Amino acid sequence: QVQLVESGVGLVQAGGPLRPSCAASGDFINYATGWFRLAPGKIREFVAAISRSTGITRYADSVKGRFTNSRDNAKNTAYLQMNSLKPEDTAVYYCAAVRSSYIFSSRSPYEHWGQGTQVTVSS
C-alpha cells in the first residue's frame, strides 16, 4: 500500500515552469507512477508515467518535449517538471501509483491516487 500526497500548487505565466511533486509512503519502489490532469469541463487525462526502477517514461503528445517525469526512490518522491507552460495546461494534477513493473497511460490500472494539486497558467 502507498499513500500519495502532491505538492507544488502554483500560478505561473505562460512560458514559465513549475515542478509538482508526489511524496509517497509505503513500498514506493514496487510501484510505477503516473500523472493525470483534470481541467474544467474535461475528463481526467493522462499526462506522464514512469516505471518503478528502470526510468522508462511515457508522455501524452500534448506535453511531449515540455514535461519531464522523474522519481527519486531514495526519497519516495516522483516529480513532474513542467516547462513552457500554456494556458491549456491549467488543471488539477493528480499523482497515481500501480504495483507493477509496467507503465500505463490509462486510468484503470492505477490503484492509488493523490488528492490533486492545482496548476494555473495565465496568458
Amino acid of residue 107:
R
Residue type, 43: I
Give the β-pairing of 10-13 and 117-122: parallel
Q: What share of the chain is helix, strand, coil (3-state, %, to 5)?
A: 5, 50, 45
CA distance 10 to 17: 10
- What percentage of the chain has pLDDT greater than the value 70? 100
Query: What per-residue confidence (pLDDT) applies to 86?
Result: 97
Q: What is the pLDDT of residue 92?
A: 96
Q: Does position 93 have pLDDT exceeding 90, yes or no?
A: yes
Cα distances (Å, whole numbers) of residue 108 to 62, 92, 102: 21, 18, 14
Give the pLDDT band (50/70/90) at residue 10. Answer: confident
Does the structure show a pLDDT above 90 at 8? no
**Residue spans of beta strands (DSSP E) within the chain:** 2-7, 10-13, 21-26, 32-38, 45-50, 57-59, 67-72, 77-82, 91-98, 112-113, 117-122
pLDDT tens digits along 38-89: 999 999 999 999 999 999 999 999 999 999 999 999 999 999 999 999 999 9
Q: Determine the Cα angle at 63 with ends 60 and 66, to 5°.
A: 140
The band of 20, judged by pLDDT with boundaries at 50, 70 and 90, is very high
In angstroms, how far is CA 42 from the centroid of its own chain? 17
pLDDT of residue 9: 74
